[in-house]
Amino acid sequence: MTAPTVKIVRTVAELRAQVGAWKAAGERVALIPTMGALHEGHLSLVRLGQKRARRTVASVFVNPRQFAPHEDFDAYPRGEARDAELLASVGCDLMFAPDVAEMYAPGFSTTVNLTGVSEPLEGAARPLFFGGVATVVTKLLNQAQPDLAVFGEKDYQQLQVIKRVVRDLDIPVEIVGAPTARADDGLALSSRNAYLSPEERAAAVALPDAMKAAAKAVAEGGRVDEAEARAVAALTAAGFRQVDYVDVRDADDLSRLGPGPITGAKGRILVAAWLGKTRLIDNMAVG
Ligand code: AMP
């Protein structure tokens, strides 16, 4: 038996031709944007797309515009052949793997910037990040014109940012959020976990543990400020060298909740912290 393969296209014209043919045949199309270095979390997005659409397209593009000059664009893990194998193994129909010149032609000058939900948390820690994400996702949605696009709750603020952009710019697509895929010990799967040494990987479990403990305390009526402070202390004790934030926020608009107990609001706890040279983020519902 020959191994399954996935068709790979590298130009917007080829992408449009294939998606156009499917839509002309009455088939729904789901887009799953990724930066490659695929893992089970990405594949769970493809599977969710397959439940909602006949055809799935995964884009694989390490987007230079969402990395600041000092960030890990050059070091970001890449492996197209393995990505293609994994996509084929779950029956993804098409991999869109453009190069940088295909996405950003000479003279490229437009950036999609937003306020509000993009400003705190990741937006504060990485000022260029959401402009780069909103721009590339807007482009991918215009290029593929899918019926729906699937994004992970792993990047919860990103999911809210994309929902906002799609609503604000009237992009005719349904945005679907997918639950976070985790390792057995609870660490959220991430391409950046590949940066962790074995010792750091063992210590990393403190992040989901501290997050879960804080979410539980707040859900049980505890003070937000105390739960956040305990989580920061637990991360520091476990060897995290810097905690960018542990925040309980409104699940929809990401405004701050607390400092006292939360009543009535739908909360989300969001965490970003550094283990050595690796920055990990995670989040979960409160209650
Ligand atoms: P990335 O390649 O890291 O930019 O992620 C591409 C998509 O996969 C984004 O929508 C992420 O939120 C999603 N994703 C990444 N890790 C996970 C995970 N562990 N579980 C679910 N979705 C994920």
Q: How much is the pLDDT for 202?
A: 98
pLDDT tens string 39-80: 999 999 999 999 999 999 999 999 999 999 999 999 999 999
Active-site option among 42, 55, 126, 268: 42
What's the pLDDT band for 2 if we cut at 50, 70, 90? confident
CA 77–ligand 1 middle distance (angstroms): 14
Residue 1 has pLDDT above 70, yes or no: no
* Average of per-residue pLDDT values in the chain: 97
Average pLDDT over residues 189-196: 96
pLDDT tens string 227-284: 999 999 999 999 999 999 999 999 999 999 999 999 887 999 999 999 999 999 999 9
Q: How much is the pLDDT for 264?
A: 81
Smallest CA separation from ligand 1 atom 11, residue? 152
CATH of domain 7-178: 3.40.50.620
Q: How much is the pLDDT for 282?
A: 98
Q: What phi, psi does 279 have (nearest 5°)? A: -100, 120
Bridging pattern class, strands 278-286 and 242-250: unpaired
Q: How much is the pLDDT for 3?
A: 86
The β-bridge partners of 268 are: 249, 285
Closest ligand 1 atom to residue 153 Cα is: 12
Contacts of 122 (CB under 8 A, 6+ apart): 129, 130, 157, 158, 272, 281
**Domain limits, the chain:** 7-178, 191-285
- Which secondary structure element, helix H or strand E, spans residue 59, and what is its range? strand 55-60
pLDDT tens string 5-16: 999 999 999 999
**Nearest one of 114, 184, 102 to 143, comparing CA atoms:** 102
Average pLDDT over residues 181-195: 97
Q: Is the CB of 155 under 6 A from ligand 1?
A: yes
The β-bridge partners of 175 are: 149
Cα separation, 93 vs 8, whole angstroms: 9
Residue 118 has pLDDT above 90, yes or no: yes
Q: Is the CB of 66 under 6 A from ligand 1?
A: no
Smallest CA separation from ligand 1 atom 22, residue? 152
**Nearest one of 136, 142, 144 to 18, comparing CA atoms:** 144
Q: How much is the pLDDT for 263?
A: 87
CATH of domain 191-285: 3.30.1300.10
**Annotated catalytic, 42?**
yes
Q: Is the CB of 188 under 6 A from ligand 1?
A: yes
Q: Is the CB of 63 under 6 A from ligand 1?
A: no
pLDDT tens string 75-111: 999 999 999 999 999 999 999 999 999 999 999 999 9
